[in-house]
Amino acid sequence: MAMLVLMVTMSGFSQVKNLHSFKVTAIDGSEFDLSSLKGKKVMVVNTASKCGLTPQYKILQELYDQYGGEKFEIIGFPANNFMNQEPGSNKEISSFCSSNYGVTFPMMSKISVKGNDIHPLYAWLTQKSQNGKLDADVTWNFQKFLIDENGNLVDFLKPADKPDDKKVLDWLKK
């Protein structure tokens, strides 16, 4: 009996997911396999077009222009979880991002980042029981999650923290 419990417990450890375990839907409706990001540091951020923090798109794009490429990626996930600040369709969001902020980093389809309908990726990002690192409820738009080259959650930044915060820049230069 003890051996069975040990085997079940050990099999649970082998099921730990990382970022590369997920497939999501890009804003254009195509599949985006996050395993394509192996070897890159990744910032995952929930976004909104009608938020006081929406100008962070500009900083995100500048960060992407400077560091994006072979070693770093930013992935934006529009979400309408906070005061209806992302009411648009995926097409409207895509147009808004490109025409107002020149966004070229990958944007995904609108999802839920909290609550009963939380997207599985965000359940992983926010729950220590799934990510093995920390609990970090999404408290507002533009919360940022930092993931290492192996797809493991490293840390997060609060929504008001700028994408080019010293913590992020130091992490990118490691």
* Residues 135, 113: Cα–Cα separation, whole Å: 14
Give me the DSSP letters along 96-108: HHHHHH---S-BB
CB of 159 closer than 8 Å to CB of 143: yes
Burial of 138 (0-12, 13-18, 19+ CB in 10 A): buried
Q: Is residue 51 among the annotated active site residues?
A: yes
Among 26, 51, 53, 134, the one annotated catalytic: 51
Closest alpha carbon to 60 in 131, 174, 173, 157 = 157
The structure tokens listed for 91 are 């097409």
Give the residue numbers annotated as catalytic, written as ranges: 51
